[in-house]
Amino acid sequence: MARPKVQIRKPPAPKPVATVESFVRDGSASGTPRRAAVMTRANGATVRRMVVYLPLELAQQVAMRCALDDVDVSAFVAEAVERRLANAKSAAPRPEPKRPRITEAEAHELAARALRRAGIVLDD
């Protein structure tokens, strides 16, 4: 019985530089770019793709509401975010609490009293 010949395989031919540069630029090995993050919809609206992670129960509620109301999930989320941002703009800024101003001598006296209550006596 004849023994099979063992040969070392030759490495594949290197890929063209354009394909390598495309992969580095777009992350695509096939040379076709990934979907753009910014796109124009059929209705003319320019939108940007975003990934949002929701708690499972909330995601299910959103999906159910959109299915029942026959609304696109993106449109639903966009409207909810717009409302939230509008409410945030209309909310009056909270005023800073007014703090009583005390003199340096009063501050020292308050600190000394706090130390005496804690049982710490300082030599003057």
Q: For residue 40, list its beta bridge partners.
A: 46
Give the pLDDT of residue 63.
92
pLDDT tens-digit series, residues 70-86: 999 999 999 999 998 88
Calculate the CA 35 to chain-centre distance. 20
Give the pLDDT of residue 61.
93
Confidence of residue 34 (pLDDT cuts 50, 70, 90): low
Report the predicted TM-score, pTM, of the whole model to 2 decimal places.
0.45
pLDDT tens-digit series, residues 83-114: 988 887 776 677 777 777 888 888 888 888 88
pLDDT at 32 over 60: no
Q: Residue 77 domain-assigned?
A: yes
Q: Residue 83 domain-assigned?
A: yes
Average per-residue pLDDT in the chain?
A: 81
Total tally of structural domains belonging to the chain: 1
Long-range contacts of 39-48 (CB under 8 A, 24+ apart): 47/74
**How many helices, marked H, and strands, marked E, lie in the chain?**
4, 2
Residue range(s) defining the domain that contains residue 61: 52-91
Q: Residue 58 domain-assigned?
A: yes
Q: Residue 29 domain-assigned?
A: no
